Amino acid sequence: MRLFLLTIMNGLTLAALYFLVASGFTLVFGLMRNVNLAHGSLYLLGAYIGYDAADATGSWFLGVAAGFLSMAVVGLLLQIGVFRHMVGQDLRQTLVTIGISIVLADLMLAIWGGKTYQFDPPDWLYGAIRLPLVRAYPIYRLALLGASIVIGIALWLFLNRTRIGMMIRAGVDDRAMLSASGVNTQRIFAITFALGAGLAGFAGVVGGTALSIAPGEDVRYLLASLVVVIVGGMGSVTGAAIGALLIGLAEQVGLAYSPTYGVVYTFLIMVAVLAIRPQGILGRPA
């Protein structure tokens, strides 16, 4: 019983991390239809920059801010310099962002080497708390779960209850009509892309504190984001949360009870969803 509850808790906290990464990806890929396969590299680069900032200043919160802001700037540059010139050209976007991710991976390897890094959380998030049946559980992982819930609600409200959010959704459906109404669509999409990339950098610092930072994490979280968005439905923040929950629980249950075939559970979920509902759980039909 204790193993089962601990597995569920680990699945929930892993799902929270996956959601933080995938929430930025669902803005860029699911909502704006920009195929950014460098999203995992933004996660890892934000983690490295945040680590250096936290190490230099001694403040974990400044590390979080550095990870978010640096990747927001990188995302803004990507939107202005790359994606605005390739609207609707999915193949070109795919090839270009694969190239960017390879270049970034080599640069990160050259600058930070192949070492594994890990953040130290603030003192008040360090240690464990006693829970019924589970006994001791890390406070930081519970804080991660809470932060992902708050960010998810804030992101949903931003997209569905604010003027900019309505403009973003309108621009996705009919960019020409939104532009004709006097709205600067390029500015709106640049803000959206910067927010999505910034969330990737934020998740890099948060994930690097919960787990670790190492070469190869970019590919792992890119694949996780793809699966989460495909399962949950493109362009849906709520769908991304549901997809992250399913994938996080499936990974941890597989790791605990059948490590050899654990990775298969994730793809079984994706295949089942695509067979029954090709647009994803909460996605809209094309």
pLDDT digits (tens, 9 = 90+) for 243-277: 999 999 999 998 888 887 777 888 899 999 999 99
Q: Is 10 helix (H, G, I), strand (E, B) or coil?
A: helix
Comparing CA positions, the residue from 30, 26, 32 lying closest to residue 188 is 32
Chain-wide mean pLDDT for the chain? 88
- Number of structural domains in the chain: 1
For residue 80, what are the domain limits? 2-276
**Residue 56 pLDDT > 90, yes or no?**
yes
The pLDDT tens digits for 193-216 are 899 999 999 999 999 998 889 988
Q: In CATH, what number is assigned to the domain containing residue 37?
A: 1.10.3470
- Residue 281 inside a domain? The answer is no
- Residue 286 inside a domain? The answer is no
Comparing CA positions, the residue from 175, 157, 20 lying closest to residue 83 is 175
Q: CA 66, CA 26: separation in Å to the nearest integer?
A: 22
8 and 22 Cβ atoms separated by less than 8 Å: no
Residue 141 structure tokens: 């992982």
- pTM of the full structure: 0.91
Q: CA 266, CA 230: separation in Å to the nearest integer?
A: 12
- Residue 282 inside a domain? The answer is no
Residue 221 structure tokens: 């979280």
